[in-house]
Chains A and B, each alone.
Chain A
Amino acid sequence: MRGESAPDNPSPHGLEGYRGLALKVLRSIGAEVGDVIRVKRADGAVYEGILVPRFEYGDPECVVLKLRNGYNIGLKIKDTDVVEKLAEGGKFTYKVQLAPKAVSSLPRVSIIGTGGTIASRIDYRTGAVTPTFTADDLYSMVPELGEIANIDTKVLFNVFSEDMTPKHWTKIAEEVASQFENSIQGVVVAHGTDTMGYTAAALSFALQGLPAPVILVGAQRSSDRPSSDAALNLIGAVVAAVHAPFGEVAVAMHKNLSDDEILIHRGTRVRKCHTSRRDAFKSINTDPLGVVKNKTYHQISSSFKPRGSLNGFKIKPLFEEKVALIKYYPGFNPEVIERLLDMGYRGIILEGTGLGHVGSICIKAIERARDMGVFVGMTSQCIWGRVNMNIYYTGRDLQKAGVTPLEDMLAETAVVKLMWVLAQTDNIEEVKKLMLTNISGEFSQRTSYRWSA
C-alpha cells in the first residue's frame, strides 16, 4: 500500500525529475508540470502535450509529454528542437461524489492511516496518483463500508512499510489507545504490507486487555488499479472490527487468489510469505482467528481473548531497540555476535537451523553473551514447527551456554517480543520468564498437523 507515484512533497514546478538540456529548456520557457508544451523537431515532426512529472527512473534528459490521445512519450531535447509553452495548466478541483452516508445508528469504527494508499485518486491528466484518506473518500470508493459502520479516519503519519521503526509502533499504539476513549466498536490500522506482521506483533504486546479488536490491513496491489485487493481487505477489516468477539490485534488479508474471503490472522502469528500474491499473509503454527465472507464474520479459532472492559485495558508501548535477529547459515562468523555484544546489544534472537541449532563454533560467543547478561533466544528458520534443543548434542550444549528455546514462536515475533520485554525489565531472569510466558498467543503448547506449508 505505498503511493508508488505520489510525490511526497511536490515542488511548485514539478520539474525536479528533469536534468540537463531538458531542464534548461523547460526553465527558459517558464514551463511547469501541467502546462501544454509544443516540441518542434528539425525534421518537421511536431509534438503537443501536457508536461508531466518525471519519475525516478528513465532518462532525465527526456521531456515527458502526455499527448492528447492519452499516451505519454519521452522526447530527448536537442539543440535543434524548438520548445514552446502553449498554455498554462489549469488547477484541478476534485468533485466529491455523493458518498453514501453511513447510518448514525451503525457501530463506530476508527481507521488510522500510517502510510501508503488505501484509497487513491488518479489524475488522468498528469498521471499522478494521489492517496486520499478522508471518510468521504473511503465511502465513495468503497461504498459497502457505509452499510457496515460509521467511520472516522485519522492519518497518523505517512511512512513506507520498510521505514517503520519501533518508535512508530509506539505512536500507533498510543493512537489506538486514545481511540478507545470514544466508545468505538473497533479500530482498523492501514499499513504497508512489508512489515505489517512486525507491527501487528508489536501492538499485540503493547496493547493488553483490549476492549475491541485492532485490525491491521494492507494491500498487495495498489489501490489505484481496479483489481486492487485494498477494498475487499478493508471491508474485511471493518467487518472484523465491528463483529469479531476478540479483544486482540489481528491482520486482515486475502485468503487466496480470489476476491472472496478475507482471513483474520492473530497479530503474533502472522507472516508475509510471498513477495507479491494477495494471499501473502499466512497464520503460522496456528489457525487463523476468523474469516470474513460476504461481509459476515465467522470465528475459526476457539481460543482467543474476548473483548475486555475499558478498565482492564493497559498500554505498554515502549520497545528496546538494541535487539538483533541473526539468521544462521553455514559459514556464519560468530564474530558478528561478538561485535553486537561490543555495541551494547541487550538481546539476540537466533534464527537457527532445524530444531534450533547454530554451529558449535558460536558457543563461545553465546557464553560471553550469557556472562554479560544478554538474552539469547532460539527460533527456527524452518518457519513451520517447534524448536526442540534436547535432541542433539549441539542443542543441549547451546542451552548450557545460555540459549533459551522459544517453542513455536515466529522469529519476527520473537525479536519484537524481546524488544518489548527488555523495555519492561532489566532483570535477565525476569526477561527469560517473560519470554516464556504466553502473553499474546505468540506460541502454543501443541502442534496440529494442519499447521504446515
Chain B
Amino acid sequence: MVGLKVKVGLELHQQLATKYKLFCCCQSSLAAVEPEYKFIRRLRPTQSELGEVDPAALFEFKKGRYIVYEVDDASSCLVEMDEEPPHPLNEEAVEIALTVAMMLNASPVDEVHVMRKIVIDGSNTAGFQRTALIATGGYIDVEGKRIPIQTICVEEDAARLVKQEGEAVYYRLDRLGIPLIEVATAPVIESPKEALTVAFSIGRVLRATGRVRRGLGSIRQDVNISVEGGGLIEVKGVQKLDLIEKVVEYEIMRQKNLLAIRDELNARGCKPADIINEPIRDLTEIFVDTSSRIIRNAVKSGGRVLGVKLKGFGGLLSRELEPGLRFGGEFATRASFWGGVGGIFHTDELPAYGITAEEVAKIKSSAEAGELDAVVFVADECSKAEAALKAVLERALEALKGVPDETRGPNPDGTTRYMRPRPGAARMYPETDIPPLRITEDLLLKVKRNLPEHPSVTLNNLMELYGLNRKLAEQLMDSEYLNTFKLIVSEVKVPAKFVAATLTETLKSLERGGVDVGVLSDSILIDVFRYVDRGFMVKESIPDVLKWLCLNVNMGVEDALKALNIRLLSREELEKIVDEALTAKSDIVSKMGVKAVNSIMGFLMNKLRGRVDPQLLMEIIRGKIVERMGGGES
C-alpha cells in the first residue's frame, strides 16, 4: 500500500487585470456597493443528442431549486444578467494569455473559438460558462523535471455564491465575467511537495506578465489526484497556493484508507448483491419513547425513522480517512446531498445522542444485523429519508470498488468534502453568439516583442541588483508584489531588503490575521514607504498603518497616522519639547554652542522619530540655540 503511485495534475486559474470583463464593458472588479436589484431564475438541464442529462443537475432541478441573483449597476450589465448577448471576446485578455502561452513554450491556436461549458448550479446565469482554448502543448521545467502544460485557456469567472436558504441559492453577479486564465498541467506530479513547487513556478510566470489581479480569490486551483487503484478526484477551488501541498497529502491519505477499507470488506466476503438486495426498513416503532430529541422532533412532525443494514461494514464507519473525516462522514454527506436530510445515525457511533444501548440492540435485531454489520438510519420525511438511504446504499456499493470518482471542495485545513459526482466528459458546444477570433502573425509578433522578463532572470536580478538573498527574492516572486517592489525601490530611498520583507512577511502575517490585504493599491503602498523615507513615520508603525488602511479603504496614509495618533507634532509642540531639551542639556549647549545642534538633534530624533519632520526639527533647534546663546552673551 505504501508504494502506491500517485498522479497529480493542476489547473491554475488566475484573474486577469484587464480594464473590462471578458464579454462586456463592465469594470473588471468586484462591486463596492450593496446589491440594488434582485431577480429569480430556474435553470433547466439541457438535453444532448444522446438524451443524457447530468444526473446531479437534473436532481437539483427536480428539487425545485431556484436561484436569486443580486446585482448592482456598476459591476454588472444585461450581459451578466443573461439579458443581452455577449460582446466580442476581450482582446486584452487574449493578449495576456498569449504572453503566458509563449512563456510556457505553448503553441497558440490560429483561431480562437469560444465554447459554452454546461454548468447549472447557478454560478453562471446562462447555465454555461464561456471558455476558449488559446494554446496547447507547452511545458515548464521545474527542478530539472519537464512538466507538460496541456492547455492554456481564457474563461469567464463565475458569480459569487452568497448563501443558500431552503430551495433558494443566492449569487452575487459582480464577479461573473471577470477574465480568468486557466493553465492545466499533465497529470505527472508525483508528490505533495512537487505539486506545490509546480504551482509556484507557474504562478511566477503568470505574475511576470504584471497583468494579473491580486488578493484573496483572485487565484484558484483545481487539483486532480489519483492514487494507483483509486479513483479520479478533482478538488475544486483551492484558493491559496500554500494549501495545495496539504490537499494532495490528505487526499492521498483518504484514497489509501478507502482502498484499505475495500480490502477489508473483500476479506469479510462482502458482495454487491448484499447491498443491492438490502431493503429499507421502517424502524419508527423502536423510537416511540426515545429520549433522542432529533428523532422525537422528526417523528412528531410526521417523519419516519428508516434504516438500512450495511453487511460487513461494522466498525469501519468510525474509521478515520483523513483528519476530521470518518468513513461514516462520506455516507452522511451523500445522504444530505441526495436526500436533503440533516444527517445520519449509524450503529458504529451509538449509543450516543440520546439513543440508548437498548434501542441500538433493537435496531440491530430488527435489521437482522450481526456483529460485523452496521445499520445506518435517518429520521426525516419519508421521501427524504428514503432518498438519503438510497444514496447511502449507493456509496456502500462504491466502497466495495474502492474510491468513487468525485468532485470535492477544500476545507481551510486542506482536508476536503464531497461536492458532487464527477461530471462525464466536458459538455461543451460552440458559443455561436461570439465570432471566432483570428490570432494573426501581427498579433503574435506584438506579444513576442513585449514579452516580460523570464522569472529566472528576474530572480537573478533581484539578488544582484537589490542585494536580496535567494529566500527573500523567491518569496517576493511568489508574492503578488514583485512589480510593486520595483516601483517602490525606484521611487523611494528605503533599503530594498526592508521593502521586500514588508511586502512579503508583513503582508502575509496581516493576511493570516484575517485582514484582506488585496485592497491595498500600489500607490498606497508607495505612499507608506515615502512617509518612512521622509521620516514622517517610523518603520515600526508600518504593520499598524497597513492594517488600518486595509480596514479603511479609500483613505490615505495621512488619515491613518491621524487615526492611529502617530501624526506629526505641531511647531508649537516641538518648540516646547526643544526648549525642555535645551534646558536639560544646557551644559552641552553652553560648551559647544551652535555645534551642539547635531547632538541635540540626534537625541530628539531618537525620541520623536515618526512624529516630526526632521528638517523642521533641525530648524527649530538651531534657532533656539542661537537665541539662547545670543541671550546668554548679552
A residues with CB within 8 A of B: 4-5, 41, 43, 45, 47, 52, 55, 57-59, 62, 64, 67, 69-76, 92, 94-97, 121-125, 127, 129-130, 140-141, 220-221, 224-228, 231-232, 256-260, 275-278
Q: Which residues of B contact A (CB under 8 A)?
A: 39-51, 53, 66, 78, 81-85, 107, 109-113, 115-118, 120, 125-128, 131-133, 136-137, 150-151, 153, 425-430, 432-433, 435-436, 438
Q: Are A231 and B49 in contact (CB under 8 A)?
A: no
Contact between chains at B83 and A122 (CB < 8 Å): no
Q: In the complex the two chains form, is A4's CB within 8 Å of B432's CB?
A: yes
Partner of A259, one of B41, B112, B115, B117: B41
Residues of A within 8 A of B41 (CB): 227, 258-259
Residues of B within 8 A of A95 (CB): 50-51
Given A45-B107, A70-B427, A225-B116, the answer on whether A122 and B127 have CB atoms closer than 8 Å is no
Nearest residue (CB) in B for A68 is: B425
Given contacts A45-B107, A74-B436, A221-B82, 4 further A-B contacts (CB under 8 A): A73-B112, A75-B111, A94-B49, A226-B44
Q: Is there contact, CB below 8 Å, between B49 and A122?
A: yes
Q: Which residues of A contact B438 (CB under 8 A)?
A: 58-59, 62, 74
**A72 lies within 8 A of B115 (CB):** yes
Cβ contacts A to B, 14 pairs, < 8 Å: A47-B136, A58-B436, A67-B136, A70-B428, A72-B428, A73-B136, A74-B111, A75-B111, A76-B111, A94-B50, A95-B50, A95-B51, A225-B128, A259-B40
Asked if A122 and B429 make an inter-chain contact with CB atoms under 8 angstroms apart, the answer reads: yes
The CA-CA distance from A260 to B43 in the complex, in Å, is 12
The answer to whether A76 touches B126, judged by C-beta atoms less than 8 angstroms apart, is: no
Contact across chains for A124 and B133 when beta carbons are under 8 A apart: no
Contact of A74 among B110, B120, B425, B428 (CB under 8 A): B110
**Among B85, B136, B436, which residue has its beta carbon within 8 angstroms of that of A276?**
B85
Q: Chain A's nearest CB lies how many Å from the CB of B168?
A: 12
Selected from B84, B107, B136, the residue in CB contact (under 8 A) with A43 is: B107
Query: Across the interface, do B113 and A73 meet the contact criterion of CB distance under 8 Å?
Result: yes
Q: A62-B438, A259-B41 are in contact. Are A276 and B78 (CB under 8 A)?
A: yes
Indicate if the CB atoms of A97 and B51 lie closer than 8 Å: yes
Contact status A73-B49, CB under 8 Å:
no
On whether A71 and B153 interact (CB within 8 A), knowing A47-B136, A95-B51, A225-B116, the answer reads yes
CA distance A41 to B108 in the complex (A): 12
Q: Report the nearest A residue to B82, measured CB to CB.
A: A227
**In the complex, chain B residues whose CB is within 8 Å of the CB of A94:** 49-51
Q: B136, A62: Cβ atoms under 8 Å?
A: no
| Chain A residue at smallest Cβ distance from B150 | A69
Chain B residues with Cβ below 8 Å from A47 are 136
Q: Which residues of A contact B81 (CB under 8 A)?
A: 257
Shortest CB distance A338–B (Å) = 40
How far is A41 from B432 in the complex, measured between Cα atoms in Å?
28
Contact call A256/B39, Cβ cutoff below 8 A? yes
Give the 7 A-B CB pairs with smallest separation, nearest first.
Answer: A74-B111, A226-B127, A70-B426, A70-B428, A58-B436, A72-B113, A71-B133
Is A258 touching B39 in the complex (CB atoms < 8 A)? yes
Asked whether, in the complex, the Cβ of B435 is within 8 Å of the Cβ of A57, the reply is yes
Tell me if A59 and B78 are in contact (CB < 8 A): no
Q: Are the CB atoms of A224 and B46 closer together than 8 Å?
A: yes
Q: A121 touching B48 by the CB < 8 A rule? A: yes
Which B residues are CB-close (under 8 A) to A74? 109-113, 436, 438
* Residue in chain A with minimal CB distance to B424: A124
Distance in angstroms from B334 CB to nearest chain A CB is 25
Question: With A5-B432, A276-B78 known to touch, is A70 a contact of B49 (CB < 8 Å)?
Answer: no
Does B133 lie within 8 Å of A228, measured CB to CB? no
Whole-angstrom CA separation of A259 from B122 in the bound complex: 13
Question: CB-CB < 8 A to A278: which residues of B?
Answer: 83
Q: Are B83 and A277 in contact, CB atoms less than 8 angstroms apart?
A: yes
Please judge, given known A-B contacts A122-B49, A124-B428, whether A58 and B111 are in contact too, CB under 8 Å.
yes
Contacting A64 at CB < 8 Å: which of B40, B113, B126, B428? B113
Give CA–CA (A224, B432) in the complex, Å.
11
Closest CB in chain A relative to B439 CB, distance in Å:
9
Q: A71-B151, A122-B49 are in contact. Are A226 and B120 (CB under 8 A)?
A: yes
With CB as the reference atom, state the residue of chain A lying closest to B52: A95
Taking CB atoms, residues of chain A closer than 8 Å to B49 are: 92, 94, 121-125, 130
Q: Which residues of B contact A225 (CB under 8 A)?
A: 46, 116, 126-128
Residue in contact with A227 in the complex, picked from B51, B127, B429, B432, CB distance below 8 Å: B127
User: What's the minimum C-beta distance from A99 to chain B, rounded to whole angstroms?
Assistant: 10
Residues of A within 8 Å of B43, CB to CB, are 226-227
**Residue with the greatest number of chain B CB neighbours at <10 A, chosen from A96, A124, A278:** A124
Docked-complex contact B78 and A45, CB < 8 angstroms: no
Which residues from chain B contact A5 at a C-beta distance below 8 Å?
A: 430, 432
Q: Are A259 and B46 in contact (CB-based, < 8 A)?
A: no
Separation in Å of the A162 CB from the closest CB of chain B?
Answer: 16
Q: Collect the chain B residues with CB atoms within 8 Å of residue A221's CB.
A: 82, 126
